[in-house]
Amino acid sequence: MQLATQLVIRTALTALLGSACIAAAQEYPGRPIRFMIGFAPGGSSDLVSRALAEKLTPQLGQPVVPETRSGASGVVANEAVSKAAPDGLSMVLLTGGHPVAAVLVRKLPYDAAKDFGMVSTVTSYPMLITVAADSPMKTLADLIAKAKAQPNKVTYAVSGPGSLQRLTGELVNVEAGTSMVYVPYKGAAQAMIDLLGGRIDAMVETATFSLPQVRSGKMRALAQSMATRYSLAPEMPAVAETLPGVEVGSWLGLAVSPGTPRPIIERLNREVRNILQTQDMQKRLADLGGVATPSTPEEMRERVEREVARWSRIVKLKGIEPE
């Protein structure tokens, strides 16, 4: 009898909680939403965050207000959202560097997968391996051959030591059996200056930055890192055509605070999917070198977990110490 009573109470509480979640979603958002931006103005994360905020505002019926919280490669903004109330009123775009930080930052103030309510990936784009336009290297195979002929001599530039760009280069090293040396810069623009000046052999950077430079004739792309040819630059070989199985895609994905009710997550996921179907948003993303990449919340979480595992392997193989 006592057990039956407990079951009745538990069922009633579950139903009550479910009703409360549905009611919260129906009333959502009810007040303005803070859209945290973890990077300086002008970059892809900043521009996509603002474009998404602009589109979400009429869809949700409340202002979605961009709020710059730049610092520590996005960690400052991510932490603010990870510790905010679970009401869907604080959001952030996580990046392809998010799982990288999980293995390269010694004391990250959150768990990369567990401490966020994943909503959907928004856009994805490859890394480009480039050289100066006048470089004698024409293909990725040429770069690998030079690196094997000159161990620990060939250099590649990246924007930051704890970046996805660096680990992309290290992945190539592991799979090609090379020992190219990474050279970190504070930004891609400075790295390009040294690349064009002949002080660096190659550069690994996002398509967001490098694709316009390739199209302007300043740099030559040896390969891009998606698994297959990239729709925005189909003439560009994939790394996997030279090193089978090597595939890296950077991305941006919307997340809210952990514990946000599922109906709110599902509402945001629907709105993001609708926005990504519009020609205007697709053009904005293409102008930044990316393509619309909607996903389920589960697919986004699985992507983070999968990439944390992969980069953990590379960090261990290369003996890279977290900072």
Percent of the chain with pLDDT over 70: 92
Give residue limits of the domains in the chain: 32-124+250-317, 126-248
Question: Could you check whether 32-124+250-317 and 126-248 share the same CATH topology?
Answer: yes
What is the enclosing helix (H) or strand (E) of 6?
helix 2-27
Q: CB–CB of 115/258 below 8 Å?
A: yes
What is the DSSP code string of 259-302?
T--HHHHHHHHHHHHHHHTSHHHHHHHHHTT-EE----HHHHHH
* Per-residue pLDDT, 54: 97
Cβ of 266: how many Cβ atoms within 10 Å?
A: 14
For the segment 52-71, what is each residue's pLDDT rounded down to a tens digit? Answer: 999 999 999 999 999 999 88
* Per-residue pLDDT, 5: 53
**Domain 126-248 of CATH type 3.40.50.300:** no
For the segment 202-260, what is each residue's pLDDT rounded down to a tens digit? Answer: 999 999 899 999 999 999 999 999 999 999 999 999 999 999 989 999 999 999 999 99
Architecture of domain 32-124+250-317: 3-Layer(aba) Sandwich (3.40)
Mean pLDDT of the chain: 92
Q: Examine the pLDDT at 93 and tell me if it is beyond 50.
A: yes
Distance between CA 49 and CA 222 in Å, rounded? Answer: 30
Mean pLDDT of all residues in 9-24: 50
The pTM score is 0.87
